[in-house]
Structure formats: structure tokens, C-alpha cells
Structure 1
Amino acid sequence: MAEKKKRVVVVGGGIAGSLLCKTFHKHHHVDFTLIDSKEYFEITWANLRSMVEPSFAKRTLINHHEYLPGASIITSDAIEIDEQHQVSTTSDRQIAFDYLVIATGHMGNHHVTISDRLRQFEADYEKIQSSNTILIVGGGPTGVELAGEIVVDFPAKKVKLVHRGSRLLEFISETAGKKVLDWLTARNVEVILGQSVDLDSSSDGVYSTSSGETITADCHFKCTSEPIGSSWIKETILKDCLDDHGRLMVDEHLRVKGFANIFAIGDVTDVPELKQGYLAQKHALVVANNLKLLIEGGDEGKMVKYSPATSAMAIVSLGRREALAYIRCVTMIGRIPGLIKSKDLFVGKTRKQLGLKA
């Protein structure tokens, strides 16, 4: 009699969830199902390049079936986890599990199909191309990288960047923020710090700031952080496992506290570290090892422990050739860090991790 396979359900096909699924693809002891709100995996750290070069997106949007051929994939939103070990979806499906992994990250775009997402990049490109003055709201890595992409590809455009913090890139050093500020202002980007923008009250290209000033622009892009993708969990058996910030509380093995067969990975967890893509991938690999151990009947005491990143590390691209690197408290800006990231934005490397051509 054939051994019954363990049912693994992964909710969320982003950076962490996709890599986890890839590690289990064709595992002979596992019957896994991916539940995702969209039909594709998006290499999110490359999507700003796609806004100035829409054709670039064709390598960054990957249908789940492309790297998981033959897998069970449900394109729907998860809405419930019950005591019968089932996940329910908005498409009225109930999927039973022996092990569950939640990888819903942050709320992202709402485009279900690749074609819809490509059309959005085309629309963003047309908006940039047809505007003389562009407002960017948010001075974190997303806002800084978008400003860099625009001023390199469209040097005649006037870019205005507004950030409510006292400096850019607040998640890393003051020196790094100052170097990026100097880089942007040298390219005629107007940077306004210590203010926010009321986007809802804009009228005819006039925006009001928190200090009562007005900014005129032909279009705007909001580059502030999106909410954590955990609102649906508040209606499930895991509702008491969410902290005050809406993140799932996990133990050192990345299991949701109080549940031996439910794990969480990526931005949706309360792991005390910066929420970055390469760290989410590390979560995925730790949980993959732990699930394989449990599924194959190994000693639970030998489960891998995840060690949170203790120091910030980042490479922020500045257009196609330059970047800012912050590694082990050392800051470098220019062509050398640009060689690491800015040309391809790690797209080839990420595709290779999924077993695809770079």
C-alpha cells in the first residue's frame, strides 16, 4: 500500500512563498497546494524599472505554472483557517492540510493576471512620459529608487520627492541618507523632508502638504509602505496569534506560536528584523528544511532555528548604472555598487532560483 502523502498548503506566492513551493515541487512525500490572489509571481524589487521600461516586466512576472509545472495552484484569496485544518477561499474552495505555511507579506497590487499587470506598467510609463513634473511621496527605498529611475531615463523631467521623515532611507545610516540626498539633488530632484502630502485633496495638479504649502505636479506616485497582508487572519483560528502590528507571532523555528503544524514566513511575521526580500527567502529555506524533517519523520529537536538579521544591509539602485550600498555599517555610492544590482536588479538570479532561464 502506497504511503499517504502529507498535504502542505502555502498561502501567498510572493518572494518567500514561491521559493518555498519550488523546494517542494515534485517532493515524493508531499502533496502541496499554492493559494495566491494572482496567477503569477512578481519580482517586486524590479518593478520600478518596469515603470520606465515596460518591456523589462516580461522577465519579472512569472506565471506560477511556469516554475511549478503540474502543481496544484488556486488563484483566489484565502479567507478562513478552521479547526478542521482547512483553508477556505473566496472561490468557495476548502483545502485540507497537514501543514500550513502563511506567506502573505504586504498588500500589493490587485492585478490577478499578468496581462493586467503589464498594462499597469504601460500606464505608469505613459504617465511619466507625458508629465513634465512628477511628485513622489515617500523617501524610503521605493521612493528613492523610483526617483533614480526617472531622472536617469528622463533627465528633462522635474521630480519632486516629499518624505515625512527627517532624512531619506531612515532604515539605514544617516550617512547613507545624506549621500542619496546629494545624488538626487545633483540631478535636480527637489527633496522636501519633514512633510507629508494629502493625496486625497489634490485638485488640478495642486497638492497640499502638512505644513500648509502647495506643490504643483502633473502626476504623482505613492511610494509609502503597504499594509501587512494579515487582515484576513483576524477571522481565523489564528486571530490571537497576531501582535499589535498585525504580524503573526512565530517561534525560533518560524512556527506560529501555539500551532505545531502552521508556519509563517516573510513580512507577515513578527521576526525582529527589517522586512527585506532576501531575508524572506532565508525564512523560506529554513521552513523548507523543517517541513522536510517533520514530513519524513525526523527528530523535532533537530529542527533548524532562524537567527534574525542583527544588522541592516541594503543596496538601493539609482538608475541603470549606479547604486548605494550599505553593508556592515559601510556606505558606498556610485558605479561599483551599481555593478552588483542596478543593471539587472537580481532578476536573472531570482529566475535561476526558480529553475528558469536567467
Structure 2
Amino acid sequence: MDLGGERSRRVVVIGGGVSGSLIAKSLQFHSDLTLIDQKEYFEIPWASLRAMVEPSFGERSVINHRDYLTNGRVVTSGAIDITETEVLTAEGRLIVYDYLVIATGHTESLPKTRTERLNQYQAESEMISSARSILIIGGGPTGVELAGEIAVDFPDKNLTLVHNGSRLLEFIGPKASNKTLNWLTSKKVEVKLEQSIGQDDISDGGKTYVTSGGETVTADCHFLCTGKPVGSMWLRGTLLKNNLDNQGRLMVDENLRVKGHQNIFAIGDITDIPEIKQGYLAQKHALVAAKNLKLLMEGEKESKLVTYQPRSVKAIVSLGRRDAVAQLPFTTVIGSVPGMIKSRDLFVGKTRKKLGLEPHTIYD
């Protein structure tokens, strides 16, 4: 296969999340591009918790692939197998590629259409509004941000957060964890650490939950905010089965190619890059891989390829609409200053601009 030839520009991207959507947008006028995704839209994931308390926020954060992908085809399906030259979809379609990008991130059950997703936000918002007491299970960034959104918008709710770790936000330092715990406590959120609630104890009908520590929590509704599995199960029977590490992540080289495969790239949360899995880093992966794909399609030498350097820990976790906790390389800050950076718009305008869309336009 002449990977530098004029005709060898068929690029298939599997996964339409943070990294997959951006690389598809970046390559659509440089290749014959196909995006394969199980849903018809890209959702800005760090905006989803705001949309649960303010459904209209989803109008800007849930974007049909067709809105930014004007020069590529979208196949709404899951991928179930790959060969050296083709991708097989769940519907039985074979899609030929010269270059493949795998960006399937984490497994999540989401509706197929944008309208269904916006309706889901509306239903979640109504559930939060009508509940007097709410249980959040999980004290990572998702659980903490959801607790912050609800505590600020609905200060009258009895809010309980149960986390099995010894501190919140274990992916960053203890100073940030302690500041976050104090902030939540000041908003009357009851935080129970080193306790869990098993799947068997969670039922849609029940209002009473018993923790692993024997404590009883009464709540009108609950939200499960624990970690999602890596989206690589489908790869276990493919030619890349030996390229997965023991956590199910694809092993990539410094150019973001799957090791041992010159024309297959992996980007975003599915990679084994030693750094925190964050959206802004997934976007950086997409831009580096897009540069390398353009160079390869132009017939440039391997030595010209761009390398990706893992980033040090830098995180901003929003706490409602005005505050946030930020861990930067040399300091940890909480309050309205980091809140101004992230919490007001949650980088939605910035992300829309990266996709070539108006930052503030909403649908009619």
C-alpha cells in the first residue's frame, strides 16, 4: 500500500468524543474522511453536569456531528472489528481505510440522537427540582462537580455524597481534596468518605440506601458518578488485541501511533499515555495526530513526525457557577479566581470555536 499516494487518503475515525470530533474536523478537508460513532452528536462532557440542572445549557454543548463535519461522512454505528484495511460496523458495513484513528475513550450508554439527549437533561433536571433529598455516589470530578452544581442552584436540597476513597478527587493532591471537602461542607453537603453503596443496594424504586459502613441514607433520587470502563472491549478480538495493556488501554508510541502499526493512531482516554485523562489533553492528542496524518498523507518522511510529550498534573474542577478548585504545578487555589477561568461557561464557547462553530449560537 502506497501510504503517501494521492489516492491513499481514506481516513476512518472511530469515536466521536472530545478527541475524535476534533481530529475529524481537523482532517475533513485534507482526506476522504469517515467518522464512525454510535451517536449522531458530539457532547462536551464537562458541560453535561450543568445541563442536568440547567437543560438549556445543553443547547450549546450537544452538537450534531453534521454541524462541524461538513466535508466527511458520518456512520452512526459501533465498530466491532478491524482488519489491516477495513473497519466492520455493528450493522455489517465494511469501511475501507488507509489510516485509522481509534478514539473510543470510555464506555458510556448515551442516546442516539441530540433531541433524545436534550430530553434526558430535561428529565434529570425535573427529577432534581422535585426531589427534597439527593444521593450522589462517587467523589471523583464528576460526583464533585454535580454536587457543586446542585448545591449552588438548589441550596434547599438535602445532598449526600458517598465516596469509597479516603479523600475526594484522588487524582490530584490532598490540599485540593481538603479545600473541596471544606467547600462542599460549607454548602451543607453531607460527605461520607471510605464508604460505598453496592449495585445491589441501588434500585430505582427504593428511597433508602445502606452504605458499606452500615449507615442509612434516605434520598428521593440518586446519581451514580463512579468511573466508566475504557472503551476497548470491542478490540479484544481484533488485530490490536495484543496492543492493549492490562488496563485495556492501547499502547502508543511518541507519535500517537499504536505500537507496531504505521497507519493506526490512538488518541484520548483510550491511550496508555502516563498522564491524567482529561478533555483538554485529549484535544492536544487530536491536534498532534492530525499534524502527523497530514504529514504522512503528503508523503513526508517519518523523521518529520511530531512527538507528543505527556503533561504534568494541571486540573480545574468547577464548584457550581462561580467557584472552582485548581491544582497548578506550583499551587492549589479555590474560589472565584479559578471559577472565572472555567465555571461560568465551562469552556463551551472555546470548544465550539475549536470545531469552527459560533461560540454562543444556540438552536432555534
Structure 2 distance, partners of 1:3, 1:134, is 58
Structure 2 distance, partners of 1:200, 1:58, is 35
| 8 Å contact from structure 2 (residues 29, 71) kept in 1 | no
| 8 Å contact from structure 2 (residues 102, 266) kept in 1 | yes
Structure 2 distance, partners of 1:305, 1:208, is 49
| 8 Å contact from structure 2 (residues 17, 43) kept in 1 | yes
| Secondary structure of 1:156's aligned partner | coil
Structure 2 distance, partners of 1:304, 1:70, is 25
Residue by residue over 1:161-193, the C-alpha shift from the partner in whole angstroms, topping out at 9 and shown as x without a partner, is: 011100111111111111110101011100000
Structure 2 distance, partners of 1:99, 1:190, is 50
| Secondary structure of 1:48's aligned partner | helix
Q: CA deviation at 1:5?
A: 4.7
| 8 Å contact from structure 1 (residues 198, 207) kept in 2 | no
Of the three residues 283, 291, 295, the one matched with 2:285 is: 283
| 8 Å contact from structure 1 (residues 255, 261) kept in 2 | yes
Spell out the pairing of 1:171-186 with structure 2 (5 A cutoff): 171-186=171-186
Number of the residue aligned with 1:9: 12
State the AA in 2 paired with 1:267. D
Q: CA deviation at 1:128?
A: 0.6
* Shift in alpha-carbon separation, 1:283–1:217, aligned structure 2, 3 A: same
Structure 2 distance, partners of 1:15, 1:268, is 12
| Secondary structure of 2:200's aligned partner | strand
Q: CA deviation at 1:337?
A: 0.9
Structure 1 distance, partners of 2:333, 2:213, is 33
Q: Mark the runs of 5 or more structure 1 residues left unpaired by the alignment.
A: none
Q: CA RMSD in A?
A: 1.2
State the AA in 1 paired with 2:112. V
Residue by residue over 1:240-260, the C-alpha shift from the partner in whole angstroms, topping out at 9 and shown as x without a partner, is: 111110001111111111111
State the AA in 2 paired with 1:303. L
* Shift in alpha-carbon separation, 1:296–1:333, aligned structure 2, 3 A: same
User: Which structure dedicates a bigger proportion of its chain to strand?
Assistant: 1
Number of the residue aligned with 1:57: 58
Number of the residue aligned with 1:118: 118
Aligned residue-pair number:
353
Number of the residue aligned with 1:142: 142
Normalising by structure 1, we get a TM-score of 0.96
State the AA in 2 paired with 1:357. E
Structure 2 distance, partners of 1:234, 1:109, is 20
Spell out the pairing of 1:154-303 with structure 2 (5 A cutoff): 154-202=154-202, 204-303=206-305
State the AA in 2 paired with 1:254. L
| 8 Å contact from structure 1 (residues 136, 162) kept in 2 | yes
Spell out the pairing of 1:310-329 with structure 2 (5 A cutoff): 311-329=312-330
Q: Mark the runs of 5 or more structure 2 residues left unpaired by the alignment.
A: 360-364
Number of the residue aligned with 1:343: 344
| 8 Å contact from structure 1 (residues 173, 329) kept in 2 | no
1:307 aligns with 2:309: yes
Q: CA deviation at 1:200?
A: 2.7
Number of the residue aligned with 1:19: 22
